[in-house]
């Protein structure tokens, strides 16, 4: 099953990755909480079950490096500045000298030891500290937020300036480090996940970061089974043998899991369409409906297992959305079973059967909306989902205000109804009219009988507050959220794609059974075999079952990986990167002699200086001319002095 989420922190005496429950192997959940008590003391990446993971650099040293960087940024950004002065390329605040100093924070004075690999991770930790400080010190919140942005800018420049891709990915981005919190070492984490958790879009949008994400997505980088603190290259990357890639373990590759999820979701939707369009008046279950409810059981078990393992931190919009859909389908199935318990011509059987199909039809919009969850890997859907997510978050302000207003006016209308005839008999009418006003279709007929003229006047006031004030506030919030996301749509999409990739990479389970195949794992593997069978035998059994289940997909992926292996071997023969492709403009690039033809010199002479502002360039030019003028004046004065001295000597 695909497992993703926030991990739980285990006591110090407990192994970091205990053997998972048969129903679930979840251990992590994404989030943006900046409190060190939760988001720092946790295990963010999968690790080997039998070997605890330790930071390659002592946690105290990593913490000291982070403190050095925090001090540096506080000095570099001592006061509030316009944000663009920090975030723009070629910033006058985050200069190359500042970046070089930050990169050297890992070099211990008086020692040859170089700990610079953890600087990017430390910058993300410092960003988290500044975000927390902004919440604690509201009077300086803008300053701390600006310093947090400076951390991102420096980290992005360090990543993009690194030319050694192997060092960047293995040591800087994927190596796991710990810091000291409350006198104890936190569970090791890495820069890739920390950037996703903190939604550091500038870092995520850097070229080196995305290159690492691409390798994880393709399965070219995999966690070392013997050392969970590091990632290794996939050994079969250059193997052109077809059957060597026909391996069930390759189902851990994120892009393959994503394809299976989309395919299963389409099949699930097809089963629902077939079930809702072929109603059985007798109430009997056909094959299509049976498969639909089996799929639902698999998805529901997956959700229950995740919540059982992770806890309340697992809850998010899509989890609640999916759980609601599964709950509606469960009610439909239960009512169908109740219908089958009655004789075929009994009126209760027909009534419960109709009710079952009503619940099934009611869930139709949710089935189609559920597809959006699996299409977020495509740029269009991904950007729109980010916009919708931010809009839903912004809506909380509107609904909080709306709830208070509704309670107040509802109490007023009920009071008017009670004072009129000393009885409450118009609550359905009141609630209906209040909801109609929220939806933009108020009706004023009937309010004149509520203690006139107070009822009608109060309803006018209610409509003015709801339609003129609150709904316009909601529109303004939506507009602001849309502009914020669309202005930075590319980085937001890259952040969403990175999060999706890490959802698969973080899964600690060694056996990938995607729902509803998790029912096979639960019923036929975990329950009867896992509790008594040896680990090697159980893994072999799981690989055999996965090989049968995913055989059609593995036949295709093995062919694709064989083609990729040939491409990698060709690129390595040209001393290029493994994922390099020859584009149209590169095909004749070797035939162009830029320097020999003099074209390079002509271009250099005509290129404008876009790094420095034109006014600054003119000032610098004026300074050079003034310097030359001063030198000329000095020479003239010196020559004049020598001439006067010579004349005086001759005369004497």
- Kindly list the domain boundaries of the chain, sorted by start residue: 36-245, 253-374, 389-471, 515-581
Q: How far apart are alpha carbons 330 and 350 in whole angstroms?
A: 19
The token pair that represents 129 in the structure block: 């500290």
Rounded distance, CA 415 to CA 413, Å? 5
Strands 184-185 and 180-181: antiparallel
CB atoms within 10 A of CB 440: 10
Tokens of 218: 């393709």
Q: Is the peptide bond before 453 cis (omega within 30 degrees of 0)?
A: yes
DSSP state of 184: E
Question: What radius of gyration, in Å, describes the C-alpha atoms of the chain?
Answer: 33
Which residues face 222 on adjacent strands?
Answer: 232
Tell whether the torsion through CA atoms of 122, 128, 134 and 136 is positive or negative: negative
Identify the pLDDT of residue 28: 35
Answering whether pTM is above 0.95, one says no
Q: How many residues does the chain have?
A: 652
Burial class for 513, CB neighbours closer than 10 Å (0-12, 13-18, 19+)? buried
CB 179 within 8 A of CB 61: no
Determine the pLDDT at residue 110.
63
Q: How far is CA 169 from CA 126, 233, 271, in A?
A: 21, 11, 43
Cα–Cα distance measured from residue 371 to residue 592, given in angstroms and rounded to the nearest whole number: 49
CA torsion through residues 555, 557, 562, 563, sign? positive
Q: Note whether 30 and 192 are within 8 A (CB).
A: no
Q: Which residues pair with 375 in a beta bridge?
A: none
What element of type H or E holds 196? Answer: helix 191-198
Q: For residue 293, what pLDDT is reported?
A: 94
Q: Report CA-CA distances (Å) from 153 to 86, 189, 356, 381, 601.
A: 8, 21, 56, 28, 33
CA dist 329 → 326, 351, 576 (Å):
5, 17, 53
Contacts of 429 by beta carbon, 8 Å cutoff, 6+ apart: 446
* DSSP secondary structure letter of residue 41: S
* CA-closest candidate to residue 1, choices 546, 595, 601: 546
Residues 349, 338: Cα–Cα separation, whole Å: 8
10 Å CB burial of residue 101 (0-12, 13-18, 19+) is middle
- Residue pair 54/195 in contact by the 8 Å Cβ criterion: no
Considering only CA atoms, which of 368, 395, 562 is closest in space to residue 471? Answer: 395
Which DSSP category does 302 fall into? Answer: H
Give the chain's residues under pLDDT 70: 1-53, 109-111, 225, 227-229, 310, 420-425, 507-510, 643-652
Which tokens in the block code for residue 316?
């998010």
What is d(CA 286, CA 357) in angstroms, rounded to the nearest whole number? 14
Q: Which two tokens stand for residue 392?
A: 């839903």
- 633 preceded by cis ω (within 30°)? no
């Amino acid at each position: 099953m695909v497992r993703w989420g926030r991990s739980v922190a285990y006591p110090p005496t407990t192994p970091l990755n205990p053997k998972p429950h048969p129903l679930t192997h979840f251990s992590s959940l994404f989030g943006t909480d900046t409190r060190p008590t939760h988001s720092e003391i946790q295990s963010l990446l999968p690790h080997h079950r039998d070997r605890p993971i330790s930071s390659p650099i002592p946690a105290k040293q990593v913490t000291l490096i982070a403190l050095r960087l925090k001090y540096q940024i506080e000095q570099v950004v001592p006061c509030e500045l316009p944000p663009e002065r920090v975030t723009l390329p070629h910033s006058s605040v985050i200069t190359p000298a500042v970046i070089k100093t930050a990169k050297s924070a890992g070099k211990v004075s008086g020692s040859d030891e170089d700990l610079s690999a953890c600087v990017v991770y430390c910058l993300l930790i410092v960003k988290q500290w500044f975000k927390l400080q902004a919440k604690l010190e509201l009077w300086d919140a803008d300053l701390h937020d600006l310093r947090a942005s400076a951390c991102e800018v420096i980290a992005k420049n360090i990543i993009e300036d690194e030319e050694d891709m192997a060092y960047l990915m293995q040591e800087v981005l994927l190596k796991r480090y710990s810091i000291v919190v409350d006198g104890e070492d936190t569970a090791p984490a890495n820069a890739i996940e920390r950037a996703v958790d903190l939604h550091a879009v500038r870092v995520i949008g850097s070229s080196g970061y995305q290159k690492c994400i691409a390798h994880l997505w393709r399965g070219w980088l995999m966690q070392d089974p013997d050392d969970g603190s590091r990632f290794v290259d996939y050994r079969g990357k250059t193997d052109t043998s077809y059957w060597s890639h026909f391996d069930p373990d390759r189902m851990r590759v994120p892009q393959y899991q994503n394809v299976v999820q989309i395919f299963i979701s389409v099949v699930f939707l097809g089963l629902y369409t077939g079930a809702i369009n072929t109603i059985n008046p007798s109430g009997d279950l056909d094959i299509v409906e049976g498969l639909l409810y089996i799929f639902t059981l698999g998805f529901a078990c997956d959700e229950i297992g995740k919540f059982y393992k992770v806890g309340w931190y697992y809850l998010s919009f899509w989890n609640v959305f999916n759980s609601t859909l599964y709950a509606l389908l469960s009610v439909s199935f239960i009512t169908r079973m109740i219908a089958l318990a009655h004789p075929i011509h009994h009126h209760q059987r027909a009534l419960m059967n109709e009710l079952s199909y009503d619940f099934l039809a009611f869930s139709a919009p949710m089935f189609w909306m559920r597809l959006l969850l699996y299409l977020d890997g495509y740029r269009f859907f991904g950007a729109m989902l980010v916009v919708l997510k931010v809009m839903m978050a912004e809506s909380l302000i509107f609904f909080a205000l709306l709830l208070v207003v509704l309670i107040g006016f509802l109490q007023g209308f009920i009071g008017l109804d009670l004072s009129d005839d000393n009885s409450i008999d118009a609550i359905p009418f009141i609630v209906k009219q209040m909801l109609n006003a929220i939806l933009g279709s108020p009706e004023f007929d009937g309010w004149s009988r509520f203690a006139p003229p107070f009822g009608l006047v109060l309803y006018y006031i209610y409509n003015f507050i709801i339609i003129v004030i609150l709904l316009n506030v909601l529109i303004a919030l939506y507009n602001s959220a849309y502009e914020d996301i669309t202005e930075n749509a590319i980085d937001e999409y890259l952040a969403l794609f990175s999060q999706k990739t890490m959802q698969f990479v973080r899964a600690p389970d060694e056996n990938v059974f995607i729902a509803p195949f998790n029912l096979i794992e639960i019923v036929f593997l975990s329950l009867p075999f896992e509790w008594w069978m040896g680990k090697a035998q159980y893994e072999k059994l799981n690989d055999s079952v996965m090989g049968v289940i995913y055989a059609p997909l593995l036949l295709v992926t093995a062919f694709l990986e064989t083609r990729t292996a040939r491409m990698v071997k060709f690129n390595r023969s040209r001393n290029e990167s493994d994922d390099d492709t020859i584009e149209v403009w590169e095909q004749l690039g070797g035939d162009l002699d830029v320097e020999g033809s003099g074209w390079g010199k002509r271009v250099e002479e005509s290129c404008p200086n876009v790094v420095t502002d034109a006014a600054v360039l003119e000032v610098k030019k004026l300074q050079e001319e003034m310097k030359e003028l001063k030198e000329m004046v000095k020479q003239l004065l010196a020559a004049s002095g020598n001439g006067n001295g010579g004349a005086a000597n001759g005369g004497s």
